[in-house]
Amino acid sequence: MDWTSPLWYASYILVLIGLAGYGSHRLTIVFLYLKHSRNHPKPKELFKDLPLVTIQLPVFNEMHVVDRLLASVSAMDYPQDKMQIQLLDDSTDETVDICRAGIEALKARGFDAEHIHRTDRTGYKAGALENGTRFAKGEYLLILDADFVPNPDLLQKTIHYFTDDKIGMIQTRWGHLNRTYNVLTRIQAMFLDGHLELEQTARNRSGRFFTFNGTGGIWRKSCIADAGGWEHDTLTEDMDLSYRAQLKGWRFIFLNEVETPAELPVDMDGFKSQQHRWTKGSIQVCKKVLPAIWRADVPLFIKMEATAHLTSNFAYLLLIILCFLIYPNQQAQPDFGKFTYYIINVPIFFFSSVSVIVFYMVSQKALRPGSWWKEIPYLPLLLALGIGMSISNAKAVLEALFNHETAFVRTPKYGIGQVKRHDWKKSSYKAMKTLTPFVELLFGFFFLFVVVEAAMKSNWSSAILLLPFPIGFFYTSLASLARMLPSGSAAPAAEAANRKAP
């Protein structure tokens, strides 16, 4: 037996144990969710006189969705004299004129509306919010990104929780305007449902820290000030401020029964840029606040959950390392006997893979009790997409670890539902292009070779278990490469990968 085979195998098992650890955390979240699912929060009392609310709308080059946003905000079921609307505009294109015209139209209807345009994007979204808060008249700040379409009763269902002076922030659950637009939006919706329905609910109702999602929530202005205000040394200013505020003793509430719909990215590049920003930002916040969390006078279970949450994206590094270990382990795996093989591998497989399936199925059953089973066919694609995204997201983790500075890259929004089905492809808004798709393509071909070789050796269990790897890498690479082609020349394979979901 080659002396290196135990070394490869040990490294392989250690990486899988790390992934299984994060998988077991998912199962813990499921347990906490089911345990506390009936503990619905209730307001301490109701406001006798509704308070003034400042609605902050940060936008940057959002010409396709600004009018929709302003229309939905102006239709909210809340006294007009108790709303101040701030359009925080950092745009550099025709969005500026659209914003100006939209605000003038609202003012003509009697709204207290203001167009605050910055030519200096210092701090990006955090800087725009910080600047707008200086002029906010209300003690309560509703923040909505440009692609959100709030329901008319949003404020009526949330504002009364602030009758408790200890509540600093109320977060609502995101809905999905274009959930079934294509396969990618369908899978994204499942990803977000797992986070919002399970994670946020479980953390909040079990007394653990949870974070503002950047939009679809209301802050108490004095809470923001007490926590140190908006800071822009990370790409996820929402997560950063959330932890600082809760360490100050402020309480947050997550309302999973209050949905605020939004538009999902419809193309792979937009999805990648969004995930890259969220992944990198979370690691930046981890480096910034995790030491303070462990020094804080809070229970150990809160510290452990915060650690699992803030370090969860390190799983992408483990996944990339696993990619380099799979083939050598297949070629030189030591023979410990079938019994030992199953004793070691079955528990690891359960916690690293089955836990993911359980996690997302529970979220779908909770949100779609009568039709959750329709999501089952998308689970293999969800696993494959998670694998395919590992290169882009692992890159984001390394950038954060080594303090590589990058700009806040917005996710293009196309106003899906307002335009014809494929008009968004003609938009001038496109995500940044990188070399990542070419690396993903190479990984796709490599794992296709690994799967074929395993099948030729009649090692069918390995071939089936590894099949999501080439599928995931080919999907993320070809869907991105197709967008690099001239409009109308997309490769049929990539078009099929992004076809409309049933």
Which residues are tagged catalytic? 90, 238
Residues 190 and 249 sit within 8 Å (Cβ to Cβ): no
Structure tokens at 348: 């690891």
Cα separations in angstroms, 85 against 235, 248, 393, 476: 25, 29, 36, 39
Q: How far apart are the first and last CA of the chain?
A: 51
CA distance 384 to 96: 40
Cα separations in angstroms, 482 against 269, 276, 425, 438, 490: 10, 20, 11, 12, 5
Spatial CB neighbours of 40, under 8 Å, sequence gap ≥ 6 = 257
β-strand partners of 116: 88
Structure tokens at 233: 């040394």
State the DSSP code for 411: P
Query: How many helices (H) and strands (E) in the chain?
Result: 20, 7
State the DSSP code for 351: I
In this structure, which long-range contacts are made by residues 288-296, counting pairs with CB atoms below 8 Å and at least 24 apart in sequence?
288/233, 288/234, 288/240, 289/240, 289/243, 289/244, 289/247, 292/243, 292/247, 293/209, 293/243, 293/247, 296/247
